[in-house]
Structure 1
Amino acid sequence: MASPLRHLTLRHLPRTPASLLTTPQRRAARAVDIRHITTRPSPAILEKYRAKLDAKLKAEGVSSFDELKAAYKDKIAQLRKEAAVELPRSPAVEAGLVQPPPPVPTPVAEAARRVSGGSAVPGVKSLSSYVDVEKLRELPGPKEIEFIWRARFVGDGNSLCAAIPQEKYAKMEADAKKHPMFILPLPREGQGIEMQFLQWSFPSSTSSTMIFTSLEQYRLHGEFAVPHTTLTHHLELAQEKGVVLAQGSVNRDAGVSADEARLLLISLQKFYGAGEDEVGVRRRRLLEMFSRGDRDFKITDLVEEVERID
């Protein structure tokens, strides 16, 4: 099957405000591999990490990054040996998008261990890790459950949470199982549009997880790219109470704000679980075209659908 990231046509660039898209318009059609599209990191982010690196170099008494890397060579090798973990093959590998890297410790694996909380499924906390599930079952309905759920995370500015009607989630999940990977545009003030790669997984019968990674990070690191946003859906109350509880977080060090992550989640719902009307059919067709690597998939169409006010 063709890779969904291979044949994306940048034809007739979107009619977006200059503040959202800085690339000049082109009318000549051409097929490109979107994995080779580069994005520009924020100058503020670059400056932040440059300052941290300079401080580390000074503290270690070295003058360059190469010297610092050489000084820590033995320590890095030892840590890799102690913490090495082999991750399961992802759909990205199965689809031939990337080659599986060797089993060395990665930020994704480390993040999975940190958030697992001893759950049976590595990397995914159960609903009971956040709330007393039995007490939620005693509440009269979804509205009361949603109130308690949102109150649980009200003090965390980097947290994402939602209560989704079971019927709506079921439609999203059906589309996600058919199309577990997709891309979405994220407007960046003063930088145009930065493409984001998303991927669904279904680690257990009572949960599903989606992660967002910048397309540039995915292009560079494949399945081991560090996600900037993670969201898990908890299905423990879906059948009984008709509600699916979602919880996630944003890694602010990755240069994405919580508001930007919420914007991506809003955009996602335009495609996953889309209706049966003309707009919904058009959006689902974009999912299908991307999944099969259709050469007629155009980023312009994707951006126009995301910008459309429903």
Structure 2
Amino acid sequence: MQGVRSRPSPEVRRQGEEGSFSPNRKGVSLEKLKEEAKKKLDEENAALREALRRQRETEQAQALKEEAKSSSAPRTPPPAASARTDSSPVKPLASILALEKILDPPHTAEQIAQIWTAYHDLQSGGTGRGFVSASIPQATYEKMLAIARRYPTFIIPLPRLVEQEVTEETPEGASTGVKKETAYEFFLLQWDLHDAPPAPTTTTDIFARPQASPSPNPPTATVIFTPLQEYKLRQQFATPYLVLTQYTDLASSHGTVLLRGEITPSTAESGKFMLSQEDARSLTMAIQKFYLWDQGKKENLLQVFHERPQDFKWEELLRQVKVVA
């Protein structure tokens, strides 16, 4: 019918008035909407970049663990690489790490240190318990070795917090309480030197001739820590609580020495050890503290301990331990 137009319903008119059918919200300009959209897009891109970064870090960490696992898998090393003609009691490094994989493709000293750390993390289920590991520059190792040849033993104190019952007189009478004091447990440090290991090689030829002597590497060394009281009672039969082995197989090729510390498991309780991780690290650091002579008076303590034992003062040792702690 002409002249008659349909009228929108009240609901439609209300929506039109409120701008529901307009491309812009009421009171918001097009430029403002563009800014908000750009801001939201930037936030989404930033979140995406962060997710990708975390994914890359996870993949790199997993790759490092896989490489350490592959390098430390039970294996029989190539005869030419693991042949030892000496009577060293040290477990060969080639039985721990696949040295041919370290050499081919070539790894840097930093990469080897990362693999060494990751390997011991895997051995301890990611807890680090029972082991201490580190990499030492060859120059530092040889400096300590020169001093160890002259002074192969020393005494290292470890602080122990003990509770002591004390009685005090008060106007009301005697009062008994518990007071915490710091005592020290002393450990005997002993260096042992072993023949230098041959430089590793990638050859698998079982007929390959052994490398010419002498080895280009410095001697391998072990350092054992035994409670002084137990050593006094049992002498050579005393049980060491911590054994450090310093592997020099890669010294000449990579300028690094790999340190591996093994804490003796407890015989009284399964899953426990004779030393805590903190104590094991403190004893390990004692090598650097007392066998690098550019650190104060520790040189004098070693000299006095060996050359003038009658003048050695325990109080001075404790004071020096507190200074370097």
TM-score class, shorter-chain normalisation, is 0.5 to 0.7
Which of 235, 242, 261 is the aligned partner of 1:248?
261
- Give the match for residue 233 of structure 1: 246
- In 2: Cα distance, 1:261 partner to 1:225 partner: 18
Which of 117, 135, 157 is the aligned partner of 1:150?
117
- Give the match for residue 12 of structure 2: none
- Give the match for residue 303 of structure 2: 288
Unaligned segments of structure 1, at least 5 residues: 1-117
- Give the match for residue 230 of structure 2: 217
Q: TM-score, normalised by structure 1?
A: 0.57
- In 1: Cα distance, 2:117 partner to 2:225 partner: 22
Partner secondary structure for residue 171 of structure 1: helix
Q: Indicate yes or no: 2:183 matched with 1:168.
A: no
Tell me the CA shift for residue 122 of structure 1.
4.8
Tell me the CA shift for residue 258 of structure 1.
2.3
Q: Number of matched residues?
A: 190
Which of 164, 186, 202 is the aligned partner of 2:193?
202
Q: Is the 8 A contact 1:184 1:268 kept in 2?
A: no
Unaligned segments of structure 2, at least 5 residues: 1-82, 163-181, 198-219, 267-272
Tell me the CA shift for residue 139 of structure 1.
3.4
Which of 258, 269, 279 is the aligned partner of 1:260?
279
Q: Is the 8 A contact 2:289 2:298 kept in 1?
A: yes
**Aligned counterparts, 1:41-60, within 5 A:** none
- In 2: Cα distance, 1:199 partner to 1:129 partner: 25
Counterpart code for 2:227: S
Tell me the CA shift for residue 146 of structure 1.
0.2
Q: Is the 8 A contact 1:169 1:273 kept in 2?
A: no
| Larger CA deviation: 216-225 vs 118-127 | 118-127
CA gap 1:129/1:238 in 2 versus in 1, 3 angstroms: same
- In 1: Cα distance, 2:303 partner to 2:118 partner: 37
- Give the match for residue 71 of structure 1: none
Which of 94, 101, 109 is the aligned partner of 1:135?
101
Counterpart code for 2:315: T
- In 2: Cα distance, 1:166 partner to 1:208 partner: 13
Give aligned-pair identity as a percent.
34
- In 2: Cα distance, 1:252 partner to 1:263 partner: 18
- In 2: Cα distance, 1:268 partner to 1:292 partner: 19
- Give the match for residue 178 of structure 1: 150
- In 1: Cα distance, 2:265 partner to 2:139 partner: 32
Counterpart code for 2:96: Y
Counterpart code for 1:250: I
- Give the match for residue 114 of structure 1: none
| Larger CA deviation: 225-234 vs 293-302 | 293-302
**Aligned counterparts, 1:54-69, within 5 A:** none
- Give the match for residue 32 of structure 1: none
- Give the match for residue 274 of structure 1: 293
Partner secondary structure for residue 280 of structure 2: helix
Between Structure 1 and Structure 2, whose CA radius of gyration is higher? Answer: 2
CA gap 1:264/1:219 in 2 versus in 1, 3 angstroms: same
Tell me the CA shift for residue 166 of structure 1.
0.7
- In 1: Cα distance, 2:261 partner to 2:154 partner: 19
Q: TM-score, normalised by structure 2?
A: 0.55
- Give the match for residue 71 of structure 2: none
- In 2: Cα distance, 1:150 partner to 1:129 partner: 16
- In 1: Cα distance, 2:183 partner to 2:274 partner: 15
- In 2: Cα distance, 1:309 partner to 1:290 partner: 18
RMSD: 2.1
- By relative contact order (CA 8 Å, sep 6+), the higher-ranking structure is 1
Counterpart code for 1:299: W
Tell me the CA shift for residue 182 of structure 1.
0.5
Tell me the CA shift for residue 295 of structure 1.
1.4
Counterpart code for 2:161: E
